[in-house]
Amino acid sequence: MKALPPMSVAGRLDALRAGFDGAGVEALVVTTLANVRYLTGFTGSAGVLVITTDGALLTTDGRYRTQSAEQVREAGAAVEIAIGPLAGQQKSASAFLSAATRVGLEADNVTWAGQIIWGGLLDPTELIPTHNAVEALREVKDSAEIARMERAAAIADAALYEVLPLLSSGVTEEHFALELDTAMRRGGAEGVAFETIVAAGENSAMPHHRPGARAVRQGDPVVVDFGATYEGYRSDMTRTFCVGAEPEGDMARVFAVVGASQAAGTAAVKPGIMTKEVDDICRVIIAEAGWADRFEHGTGHGVGLDIHEAPTVSQLGTAILAPGFVVTVEPGVYLPGVGGVRVEDTLVVTEHGSRPLTRFTKDIHGSLH
């Protein structure tokens, strides 16, 4: 495999600090593990990062003594590390924050109990709720992040090519999902990006159906929504196949309309467009076909260290796309009791448009030619 560019987090802490005044804080406590990883390179399952205007401290336990030091150094993070039991970590963090009078907590991720704990540790410091302080920085991916997402997408593409011949009459949803997940691991994925969706026949009308014992039958629509994770970064792709026959009746129209909607949406992804506009473009094609009420989710979302992250590509979307954004475009139509179709690609916004990271054929029979 081609070597990927090294990951570096240098500059991210300063970019975060630049937003402190706007957030009304002098320091920030980061407890979301994906955000800790983004800012420090540390990938452990337990850790808290506290950032002040002139320093940063990562606290974790003894399991990660060596790992934390190595990963922080390799990532180029200007971060001190404190190792110890929970009480010791809390003492180190509170001492590090002692000079700050207004400390931010990640309001969307800190529990009520967590707020009480930090309030006790930092009393009489004022705690300030912050929203998307780190997530806003994560919206624009650098070249090293995009390279890892592209590798994850290539692994997923190759895995589906490998197992697609199994998608025939008699195979169950859960068996095909297991084979696909296993193929991604064989191909180099560290894991799946999310729980793989395989939905056959009438089950394909449920956008987040969990694979079960339902066997695929001739003529079934089968939605396959899946992704791989590579060095923390995720891919996301959906294809809908019609097994062993041409779709008939309403389902033939659904395949055509969703395909047209998805093609129009992907063509619209470029710098300067608001994410709601991408959603509008996809949605109007489906509405004109008479299925406005059968497209019941947003057109897409950001992808990165999390499978769903900013920005949202929906009627609520306010972000304006810029180079480095990575978003999905995944319109769908779902006819209860009959079947559904969803087609999804993950795209990276470039200087003059976008390019897909997911490249598997959209042929509804999975033809490689």
Give the 3-state DSSP-derived string for 265-328, with helices as H, strands as E and coil as C. Answer: HHHHCCCCCEHHHHHHHHHHHHHHCCCHHHCCCCCEEECCCCCCEEEEECCCCCCECCCCEEEE
The yes-or-no verdict on residue 1 having pLDDT over 90 is no
The yes-or-no verdict on residue 367 having pLDDT over 80 is no
SS3 of residue 215 by DSSP: strand
| Cα 33 to Cα 227: distance, rounded to the nearest angstrom | 20
Residues 277 and 318 sit within 8 Å (Cβ to Cβ): no
- Tell me the residue length of the chain: 369
Q: Tell me what pLDDT residue 368 has.
A: 47
Identify which of 146, 184, 195, 142 has the alpha carbon closest to the alpha carbon of residue 347. Answer: 146
pLDDT band at residue 80 using 50, 70 and 90 as cut-offs: very high
Average pLDDT value over all residues in the chain: 96
pLDDT in tens, 166-208: 999 999 999 999 999 999 999 999 999 999 999 999 999 999 9
**Domain 12-138, CATH among 3.20.20.190, 3.40.1180.10, 3.40.350.10, 3.40.50.300:** 3.40.350.10
Identify which of 180, 255, 171, 164 has the alpha carbon closest to the alpha carbon of residue 218. Answer: 171
pLDDT band at residue 282 using 50, 70 and 90 as cut-offs: very high
Structure tokens at 337: 């009791």
Q: Tell me what pLDDT residue 369 has.
A: 34
The pTM assigned to this predicted structure is 0.95
The yes-or-no verdict on residue 322 having pLDDT over 70 is yes
Provide the residue ranges of all domains of the chain, joining segments of one domain with +.
Answer: 12-138, 143-356
Q: Tell me what pLDDT residue 95 has.
A: 96
Beta-carbon contacts of 353 under 8 Å, excluding residues fewer than 6 positions away, are: 269, 270, 271
Q: Tell me what pLDDT residue 2 has.
A: 83
pLDDT in tens, 326-342: 999 999 999 999 999 99
The yes-or-no verdict on residue 29 having pLDDT over 90 is yes
Q: Tell me what pLDDT residue 119 has.
A: 93
3-state helix, strand, coil in the chain (%, to 5): 35, 25, 40
Burial of 56 (0-12, 13-18, 19+ CB in 10 A): buried
Residue type, 85: P
* CATH no., domain 143-356: 3.90.230.10
SS3 of residue 48 by DSSP: strand
Identify which of 164, 191, 153 has the alpha carbon closest to the alpha carbon of residue 355. Answer: 153
